[in-house]
Amino acid sequence: MAIFSVYAVNKSGGFIYQYDNYVHRAEAEKTFRYPLDCVLKIHDEKVVVSFGQRDGIRVGNALLSINGLDVNGKFTADGKEIIEYLKDSTNYPLSILFGRARLSSNEKLMPASMFHSLFAIGSQLSPEVGSTGIEMLETDMFKRHCFQTLTGIKLIVLTDPRQSGIDELLRKIYEIYSDFALKNPFYSLAMPISHRVQGLHQGSLVAPIHVAITLVPSPLMWMRASLEP
């Protein structure tokens, strides 16, 4: 997947829309014997590895499932506390799946709004006159492009660092947004686009965005024949 996600943020930094296109997450499953050789801690309501990086399990990876059953925050699927469960030697041997923590929708909302402020600070700290905010942020794993419209809406796209043609994609997404959201008489401006808005549901916006994403020429992706909402 060359394009990882699409976000839209309104003029005051509030969240409007979000779409994720990646499924692959680095995960590692291992069978453990008592005692456990990784040190775990609770962070943000999740059980996270704090020490003991090996075999694909990295520091910061969250505990996703025990013996195939997905965990629920810091409790197992049956409701027992994970840390207590792992201290009990009678439960071993067991197999645990570690991986990058999946972000809840709340957790996705926060960085999107945080970016709005960082965008403004980037323009204030500029050594040159007349700079806009942050248009492109690059790391070794992804590139984040931001297009700010004249009305203050920010359209943000996370892509692979080698991906090109993003400017056109951003303009195309802007076009889709204005066609589907703004021309809809039931849509209130600057509100999140969700299935609760009468007449406009998330599926109807996703399909055209999905088409726009698959049409971006990419050295890494084949054209996809079917669309998944």
Partner 1 sequence: MTVHNLYIFDRNGSCLHYGEWNRKKQAGISKEEEFKLMYGMLFSIRSFCSKMSPLDMKDGFLTFQTSKYKLHYYETATGIKIIMNTDLGVPNAKDILHQIYSTVSMGLYVEYIVKNPLCVLGEQLSSDLFSTRLDLYIRALPFFSPRAA
Which spans of this chain sit near partner 1 (rule: CB under 8 A)? 4, 22, 24-26, 58, 60, 100, 103, 107, 111, 114-115, 118, 121-142, 144, 158
Per the structure block, which two tokens stand in for 171?
A: 């303009």
Q: 79's torsion region: left (phi>0), alpha (psi -120 to 50) or beta?
A: left
Nearer CB in complex with partner 1: 171/201: 171
- Cα maximum dimension of the chain: 67
Nearer CB in complex with partner 1: 20/197: 20
Give me Rg for the CA atoms of the chain: 21
Nearer CB in complex with partner 1: 86/144: 144
Nearer CB in complex with partner 1: 26/227: 26
Rounded to a whole number of angstroms, the minimum distance from the CB of residue 100 to partner 1 is: 7
Q: What is the DSSP letter of 77?
A: T
Rounded to a whole number of angstroms, the minimum distance from the CB of residue 132 to partner 1 is: 4
Which among 121, 174, 183 is positioned nearest to 145, based on CA atoms?
A: 174
Rounded to a whole number of angstroms, the minimum distance from the CB of residue 126 to partner 1 is: 6
Rounded to a whole number of angstroms, the minimum distance from the CB of residue 145 to partner 1 is: 10
Nearer CB in complex with partner 1: 157/200: 157
Tell me whether the omega of the peptide bond preceding residue 35 falls within 30 degrees of 0, making it cis. yes
**24, 160 in Cβ contact below 8 A?**
no
**63, 87 in Cβ contact below 8 A?**
no
CA-angle at 156, arms to 105 and 195, nearest 5°: 45
Nearer CB in complex with partner 1: 29/135: 135
Nearer CB in complex with partner 1: 86/133: 133
Rounded to a whole number of angstroms, the minimum distance from the CB of residue 138 to partner 1 is: 5
Rounded CA gap, 7 and 5, in Å?
Answer: 7
Q: Which residues fall within 8 angstroms of residue 72, CB to CB, at 6 or more apart?
A: 79
Rounded to a whole number of angstroms, the minimum distance from the CB of residue 185 to partner 1 is: 34
Rounded CA gap, 220 and 136, in Å?
Answer: 21
Rounded to a whole number of angstroms, the minimum distance from the CB of residue 20 to partner 1 is: 9
